[in-house]
């Protein structure tokens, strides 16, 4: 359990991504019906549009979104990384050109905290330095060291007593560097710790090895958060290694593209074999999509009806939340190992090639 200023989150937990203050296609009431406890919004995007001062003026991010539960805001380090060709990193800040209007913008650790404090999220993330993988070992080390220094500056700049601050472990796929970074961050006595810079193209096995090296160094009494991950398999593998919190765009992005997650593996509903399939996506699922047949859902996508992406997004978020709730029960009943194996076997034997 993790207590925030807006309520308690049962962990392990999955946060749908509300990048610009919305989980695409899902209103807050529908989102709450999926079992979602906490969402992630992005300070980088909200600072550009509509601007953190606008959000603050209308009562903060919760009121702006109409979401009463906890919100975590990402500082924007990954977005700055994704704009690498137009980004210049100095010790003081990252300088880059806006993806909206091309104007030059500087974001320092202090500025990242000021934005998130104005937004009023329950959890703020430090500004970190993310680099692509694979990369020059010297550059990876430099980014990890800078991430620690920036985390200290974020901590020192934080003023809100009702907003938790999480550090972010960097270090690429170098196990020793990851451990060093984790050790340095824990000395800052932050409210939680994230593992960042993964799920950027490395094989799953490499990510798992990195977690094996990193997670044991992080305090067990603080949330341990794996950023930007991922597939249902990755979630259970990470829970097995001690991760408590996740976010990823996969449920909604895949839902918008006619892919549904199920215990039998993913269903790609544009496939012709679903044209007359009268079964629901998944028997026993109570989400709105599963009130309809696979044939009808396929029709919605082929007809380009907006209801199709909405329904599949709802199903996929519901599936992820059911998976996390089942994992919590299995942990409480001391049967997570068998639970994980059963799920993995079901996904591996699914109806479609992986």
The answer on 166 and 66 residing in a single domain is: yes
Is 212 within the bounds of a domain? no
Structure tokens at 41: 């919004």
Name the domain boundary from 192, 211, 238: 192
H or E segment at 186? helix 175-186
Q: Are residues 264 and 179 in the same domain?
A: no
Write the DSSP string, 117-171. HHHT-SEEE-------SS--HHHHHHHHHHHHHHHHHHHHH---TTSEEEEEE--
Measured distance CA(225)–CA(211) in Å, rounded: 11
Q: Which helix (H) or strand (E) holds 74?
A: strand 71-74
Boundary-marking domain end, from 155, 172, 192? 192
Q: What is the dihedral of CA 274, 278, 284, 290, to 10 degrees?
A: 70
Q: What is residue 84's predicted lDDT score, i.e. its pLDDT? A: 56
DSSP 209-263: HHHHHHGGGS-TTS-EEETTB--HHHHHHHHHTT--EEEESHHHHHHHTTEE--T
Alpha carbon distance 209, 229 (integer Å) = 15
Tell me, what's the pLDDT at 317? 98
Same domain, 47 and 127: yes
Predicted confidence at residue 82, as pLDDT, reads 66
Q: Is residue 90 in some structural domain?
A: yes
Question: Which contiguous run of DSSP H or E holds residue 267?
Answer: strand 267-268
Distance CA 156, CA 150 (A): 10
Question: Is the residue at 1 inside a domain?
Answer: no
Residues 142 and 259 in one domain: no
Distance CA(270)–CA(87), nearest Å, equals 39
Residue 186, domain CATH: 3.20.20.105
Whether 325 and 270 have beta carbons less than 8 Å apart is answered as no
- The answer as to whether 231 is a domain residue is no
Mean pLDDT by 10 residues, the chain (354 residues): 94 97 97 98 94 98 98 86 72 82 86 98 96 91 97 98 98 98 98 94 95 98 96 98 98 98 97 98 96 98 98 98 98 98 93 53
In contact, 71 and 61? CB cutoff 8 Å = yes
Cβ proximity of 48 and 91 under 8 Å: no
Q: Is residue 207 a part of any domain in this protein?
A: no
Catalytic residue among 74, 122, 234, 263: 74
Cα–Cα dist 37/27, whole Å: 14
Instruction: Decide if 74 is catalytic.
Output: yes
Please tell me whether residue 3 adopts helix, strand or coil conformation: strand
Residue 201 maps to a domain = no
Tell me whether residue 19 is in a domain: no
Supply the pLDDT for residue 350.
Answer: 75
CA angle centred on 142, ends 140 and 148, rounded to 5°:
105
Q: Is residue 179 part of a domain?
A: yes
Say if CB 55 and CB 118 are below 8 A apart. Answer: yes
* Same structural domain, 67 and 174: yes
Q: Which of 177, 192, 207 is the last residue of a domain?
A: 192
What are the Cα distances from residue 67, in Å, to 42, 118, 145, 285?
Answer: 15, 17, 36, 24
* Count of Cβ atoms closer than 10 Å to residue 338 Cβ: 10
Q: Does residue 173 sit in the same domain as residue 261?
A: no
| Total structural domains within the chain | 2
Domain match, 267 and 158 both: no
Give CA torsion, residues 307, 311, 316, 322, to 10 deg: 160
Cβ–Cβ < 8 Å for 99, 80: no
Q: Is residue 134 domain-shared with residue 51, that is, in the same domain?
A: yes
150/262 same-domain check? no
Is 334 in the active site? no
Q: Are residues 184 and 259 in the same domain?
A: no
Q: Do 262 and 132 reside in the same domain of the chain?
A: no
Residue range(s) defining the domain that contains residue 279 = 255-348
Q: Is-contact 350 313, C-beta < 8 A?
A: no
For residue 353, the model assigns a pLDDT of: 46
Q: Which of these is catalytic: 122, 128, 244, 247?
A: 247
- DSSP reduced 3-state for 265: coil
186 and 42 together in one domain: yes
């Amino acid at each position: 359990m993790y207590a925030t200023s807006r309520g308690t989150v049962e962990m392990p937990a999955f946060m749908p991504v509300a990048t610009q203050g919305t989980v695409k296609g899902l209103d807050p009431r529908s989102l709450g019906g999926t079992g979602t406890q906490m969402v992630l919004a992005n300070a980088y995007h909200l600072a550009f549009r509509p601007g953190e001062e606008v959000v603050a003026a209308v009562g903060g991010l919760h009121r702006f979104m109409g979401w009463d539960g906890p919100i975590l805001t990402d500082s924007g380090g990954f977005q700055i990384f994704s704009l690498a060709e137009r980004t210049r990193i100095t010790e003081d800040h990252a300088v880059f050109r806006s993806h909206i209007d091309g104007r030059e913008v500087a974001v320092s650790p202090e500025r990242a905290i000021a934005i998130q404090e104005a937004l009023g999220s329950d959890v703020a993330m430090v500004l970190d330095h993310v680099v692509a993988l694979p990369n020059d070992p010297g550059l990876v080390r430099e980014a990890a060291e800078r991430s620690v220094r920036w985390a200290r500056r974020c901590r020192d700049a934080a003023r809100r007593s009702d907003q938790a601050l999480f550090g972010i472990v960097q270090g690429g796929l170098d196990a020793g560097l990851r451990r060093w970074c984790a050790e340095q961050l824990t000395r800052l006595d932050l409210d939680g710790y994230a593992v960042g810079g993964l799920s950027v193209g490395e094989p799953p096995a490499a990510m798992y090895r990195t977690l094996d090296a990193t997670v044991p160094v992080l305090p067990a009494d603080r949330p341990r958060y794996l950023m930007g991950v991922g597939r249902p398999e990755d979630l259970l593998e990470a829970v097995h290694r001690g991760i408590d919190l996740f976010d990823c765009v996969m449920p909604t992005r895949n839902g918008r593209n006619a892919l549904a997650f199920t215990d039998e593996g993913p269903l790609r509903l544009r496939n012709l074999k679903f044209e007359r399939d009268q079964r629901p996506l998944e028997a026993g699922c109570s989400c709105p999509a599963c009130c309809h047949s696979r044939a009808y859902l396929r029709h919605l996508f082929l007809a380009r009806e907006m209801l199709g992406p909405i329904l599949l997004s709802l199903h996929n978020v519901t599936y992820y939340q059911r998976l996390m709730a089942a994992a919590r029960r299995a942990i409480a009943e001391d049967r997570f190992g068998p639970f994980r194996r059963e799920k993995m076997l079901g996904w591996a034997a699914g109806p479609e090639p992986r």
